[in-house]
Amino acid sequence: MRYLPHTPEDIHEMLKVIGVDTVDDLFHTIPDACRNSTPMDLPPAMSEWDLNAHMDSLAATMASSNEYRVFIGAGSYNHHIPSSVPYLLSRSEFATAYTPYQPEISQGTLQGIYEFQTLVTRLLGMDVATASHYDGATGLSEALLMAVKKTKRKKVAVSVLCHPFHREVIRTYMDPAGVEVVEVPYTPEGRTDLKALEAMDDLAAVAVQSPNFFGVVEDLKGFSDTIHAKKGVMIGSFTEAIAWGLMKNPGRQGVDIVAGDGQSLGIPKAFGGPGLGLLASTKAHMRQLPGRLVGATTDLDGKRGFVLTLAAREQHIRREKATSNICSNNGLCALNAAMYMASLGGSGFRRLAQINHNKAEYLKKALAGAGVEITFASPTFNEFVVKFPKGFEATYERLLAKMVVAGLPLERFYPELQGHYLLCVTETLSKTDLDQLVKEVTA
């Protein structure tokens, strides 16, 4: 077995040193009553080659974005990833290391994460960013818990245009913490209803996503002003990080904590994970942040170096008094995102966002021109809601057979939006792809 190096002689010699006869003797501390009643019934061990063939066959069933034109975003976005990024990420010094508990031999990870944190603060206009969280939903839930702890209030408001799955996760997290979750409805323009928020009281925080689930850009400033007037915490969220190439960043809109999803930043969709939770805040919230933080310091010789810091927030030091139970984060995904942001650079990031915007607007206009209803008139980024004509289900199936996935039906998430679809366009789709969709949809 190529992963188990011991030869029978190795085992024999080691047992002799230990002073027992068989390896099973080493398991004598396990009472008989605790032993397996039956062996594990697993498939017989596969060779590398059989495994490859098996995995190829499973993977072949999937409608990968490489073969299909997939007009779905909704929290997972198809962006080009430069070959240099997965190559660098595959370097075993990054991939096979553990959490950098020994900073002297982990400066690669540590500097990489310090740079990641910095890029995230610059992207979002925040003072501090963590070393990563699992994904947008879990980060957002933790952000709300931060606000609850900070304000000692037990009610939070969440825009109904936060990603529906994020809202589900929030409910899961808030319930046992005894936190009430109220939802802020949306307006006919496809925006979170600021007026509704104004009417709410005793809020620890409000969470608003921009671009929201409908792709509509929200005016976060208005929500910041409103919640701050109520002494609550303003939490901004997002699922499409590329939008910040064009949109005014949360920091400039008075947001206190930002919890968003970073999958767009060069991370493969991978059927939903691993992705990346981005969590950043103003300085005021720094010591409430959950998860790892990397900080700069100096070594014995005065040389710059990096360490995990502010561990007093964390479970391995504070146990039940920690700001969170998080231990492993999504470190390699954070490094992945940093490599991607470094590859794009500021100029490239902005240009890429612009290209995304151009393409989405092109499709929007073309569909409108073809008589499709564009449900919300507000400005959007990358995603928008349309109402397709009756009987579109058949068109959808026909397109699927042609390797086109024509958006996400919204009724499941918003029952009032029957016949509506959320469409997403990124730089990966060509004008030809967009024209084809318009043609087929209106055929």
Partner 1 sequence: LNEPLLWEKGKKGRCGFSLPECDVDEVSFEGDLAGDGPDFPDLSEVEVVRHYTRLSTWNFGVDTGMYPLGSCTMKYNPKVNERQASLTGFADAHPLLPEVRTQGALKLMYDLEHFLKELTGMDAVTLQPAAGAHGELTGILMIYAYHKKKGQIRTKMLVPDTAHGTNPASGALCGYTPVAVPVNGEGIMRVEDVRELMDEDTAGIMVTNPNTLGLFEENIREICEIVHDKGGLVYGDGANLNAIMGYVKMGEIGVDVMHFNLHKTFSTPHGGGGPGSGPVAVNKTLEPFLPVPRVEKIQDTYRLVTDYPDSIGRMMTFYGHFGVMVRAYSYILSMGAEGLKEASAHAVLNANYIKERLKDTFHLAFDKTCMHECVFSDARQEEDGVTTLDIAKRLIDYGFHPPTIYFPLVVHGALMIEPTETETKEDIDNFIDTLKAIAKEAKESPELLKNAPTRSKVRRLDETAAARKPCLCG
Query: Using the rule CB under 8 A, is 3 a contact of partner 1?
Result: yes
Nearer residue to partner 1 within complex by CB, 184 or 353: 353
Q: Concatenate the DSSP letters of all residues of 193-213 into one string.
A: -HHHHHT--S-SEEEEESS-T
Q: Which of 69, 132, 144, 423 binds partner 1 (CB under 8 A)?
A: 132
C-alpha distances in Å from residue 224, one per residue of 77, 199, 257, 412: 27, 15, 11, 30
Query: CB under 5 to 8 A by kind: which of a second copy, partner 1, none does 415 bind?
Result: none
The token duo for 116 is 């990641």
Nearer residue to a second copy within complex by CB, 95 or 284: 95
CB 355 within 8 A of CB 367: no
CB of 91 to a second copy, least distance (A): 8
The token duo for 160 is 């109904």
Query: Using the rule CB under 8 A, is 442 a contact of partner 1?
Result: no
Contacts with a second copy by CB under 8 A lie at 2, 48-49, 56, 66, 80, 82-83, 87, 90-91, 343, 428
Please list every residue from 345 through 404 that binds partner 1, using CB under 8 A: 345-355, 357-359, 361-362, 379, 381, 400
Q: Lay out the site mask for partner 1 across 234-273 (x = CB under 8 A, - = otherwise).
A: ----------xxxxxx--x--------x------xxxxxx
CB 310 within 8 A of CB 293: yes
Q: Using the rule CB under 8 A, give the single segment among 81-89, 150-158, 181-189, 190-198 that binds partner 1.
A: 81-89
Query: Using the rule CB under 8 A, is 53 a contact of partner 1?
Result: no
Residue 388 amino acid letter: F
Q: Using the rule CB under 8 A, give the single segment among 113-121, 150-158, 200-208, 385-393 that binds partner 1.
A: 113-121
Rounded CA-CA distance 76/405 in Å is: 14
Nearer residue to a second copy within complex by CB, 84 or 297: 84
Query: Using the rule CB under 8 A, is 21 a contact of partner 1?
Result: no
C-alpha distances in Å from residue 351, one per residue of 243, 331, 427: 11, 27, 11
Rounded CA-CA distance 182/179 in Å is: 10
Rounded CA-CA distance 165/171 in Å is: 10
Q: Lay out the site mask for partner 1 across 163-192 (x = CB under 8 A, - = otherwise).
A: x-xx-xx-xxx-xxxx--------------
The token duo for 384 is 């928008």
Rounded CA-CA distance 146/271 in Å is: 29
Q: Using the rule CB under 8 A, give the single segment among 11-19, 185-193, 228-236, 382-390 that binds partner 1.
A: 11-19
Q: How far is CA 232 from the centre of its chain?
A: 25
